[in-house]
Chains A and B, each alone.
Chain A
Amino acid sequence: MLEIKNLTVWYGGINAVKGIDISINRGEIVTLIGANGAGKSSTIRAIAGLVKGCGGSITYTANNGVSSQLLGKPPEAMVKLGIALSPEGRRILPHLSTEENLLLGAYTLNDRGKISENMEYAYLLFPRLKERRGQKGGTLSGGEQQMLAVARSLMSSPELLMLDEPSLGLAPILVDEVFEIIKTINTEGRTILLVEQNALAALKIAHKAYVLEVGSITIQGNGNDLLANPKVKEAYLGG
Chain B
Amino acid sequence: MSGLNSGDKKLRNNALTIFSAAALAVCLWLAPTFIDAYKVRIINLIAINAILGLSLNLIYGMGGMFSLGHSGFMAIGAYVSAILIITPDQKQLMWILDPISPWVMNLQAPFLLSLIAAGVAAAFFGVLISIPVLRLGGDYLGIATLGFSEIIRILITNLTPITNGPLGLKGIPPHASLLMSYGCLAVMLLCVTRLMRSNFGNVVRAVRDDEVAAKTMGIDTFRIRVLVFTLGCFGGGVGGALMGNLITTIDPKMFMITQTYSLLMIVVVGGLGSMTGSVVGAILITTMLEWLRFVENPITIGSLNIPGIPGMRMVIFSVLLIAVIIFRREGIMGMREFSWGWLLRDAKKGGAK
Contacts and interface: CB of A to CB of B under 8 A. Distances in A.
Given A94-B209, A95-B209, A95-B335, A87 B216 contact: yes
A79 B202 contact: no
A214 interface: no
B199 interface: yes
Interface residues of A, number: 28
Interface string A51-70: 00000000000000000000
Given A93-B210, A95-B335, A80 B216 contact: no
Contacts of A94: 209
Interface of B: 199, 202-203, 205-206, 209-210, 212-220, 335
Contacts of B209: 93-95
Contacts, number: 65
A68 to B, nearest CB: 16
A76 B215 contact: yes
The dominant DSSP class at the B interface is: helix
Nearest to B209: A93
B213 A108 contact: no
Contact of A79 (B205, B210, B212, B216): B216
Interface string A66-108: 0000000011101110001111000111111000100111011
Given A96-B202, A103-B202, A153 B213 contact: no
A50 B199 CA distance: 24
30 contacts: A50-B212, A74-B215, A75-B216, A75-B218, A78-B218, A79-B216, A79-B217, A80-B218, A85-B216, A86-B216, A87-B216, A91-B216, A92-B213, A93-B209, A93-B210, A95-B205, A95-B209, A95-B335, A96-B202, A96-B206, A100-B202, A104-B199, A104-B202, A104-B203, A104-B214, A104-B217, A107-B203, A107-B217, A107-B218, A108-B218
B216 A50 contact: yes
Given A87-B212, A95-B335, A76 B219 contact: yes
A50 B215 contact: yes
A86 B215 CA distance: 11
A48 interface: yes
